[in-house]
Amino acid sequence: MSGDGFHVHGPHDHEIEHATQHGGDSFTSRLAVLTAILSTVGAIFGYMGGHSQNAALLYKNEAAIQKTSASNQWNYYQAKSNKQNLAELSVTLTTGEAQEKFKQAVERYKKEKEEIKAEAEKLEAAAKGADQKSELEMHVHERWALATTLLQIAIALSAITLLTRKRWMLTGVYTATIIGLLAGVMGYLHK
């Protein structure tokens, strides 16, 4: 712009001026709003995917801890079995008061082994339950990841549609959006 009030502007400036004076291109505006909405929903889906993945890892960690505890209980059970076997051998090798002492030890070891076995089985069940929860969360995570990916594809197609002004590409945008939203709903419903 010169000091004389003479104004020269390029084609870009003309398009911006035209858009502001005439309310803009409704196709561009609607697609821009759709893209913003898809970005927001995609961010939420991404967060939910991360959350479900973290939950799966926590459950898997819990399963490993329970398996280790169960293994420790089974080792303890085996140690008691070894002591019981020695006591049973001692029963056959001794007589009288010593033999009676070893008989009582055998019964004590049998009772202790029952308690240890029950605890080991309880820990194994807890490990199995945590593994199942982990698998479910990973399945849900996969749904969220699929939903997020599909919305990212829809956003990319939306950008290409805006740049090329090819309205037929909206079919891809809408298809990816619908499938992505369905995958998100399936993730939400834990399907």
pLDDT at 29: 87
Q: Give the pLDDT band (50/70/90) at residue 45.
A: very high
Cα separation, 108 vs 101, in Å, equals 11
Half-sphere exposure of 133 (CA within 13 A, CB side): 17
| pLDDT of 107 strictly over 80 | yes
Asked which of 1-15, 63-77, 82-96, 126-140 is least confident by mean pLDDT, the reply is 1-15
Cα separation, 63 vs 125, in Å, equals 10
Q: Which two tokens stand for residue 96?
A: 């009288």
Cα separation, 174 vs 172, in Å, equals 5
59, 130 Cβ separation under 8 angstroms: yes
| pLDDT of 113 strictly over 60 | yes
pLDDT at 18: 56
pLDDT at 134: 96
Over the stretch 164-177, which tens digit does the pLDDT of each residue have?
A: 889 899 999 999 99
pLDDT at 6: 61
Enter the DSSP assignment of 23. Answer: T
User: How far is residue 118 from each of residues 65, 69, 77, measured CA to CA in Å?
Assistant: 18, 13, 10
Q: Give the pLDDT band (50/70/90) at residue 23.
A: low
pLDDT averaged over the chain? 89
Over residues 10-26, mean pLDDT: 57
137, 58 Cβ separation under 8 angstroms: no
Q: Give the pLDDT band (50/70/90) at residue 12.
A: very low
Share of the chain above pLDDT 90, in %: 78
User: How far is residue 137 from each of residues 36, 64, 140, 190, measured CA to CA in Å?
Assistant: 29, 16, 5, 8
| pLDDT of 3 strictly over 90 | no
Q: Give the pLDDT band (50/70/90) at residue 79.
A: very high
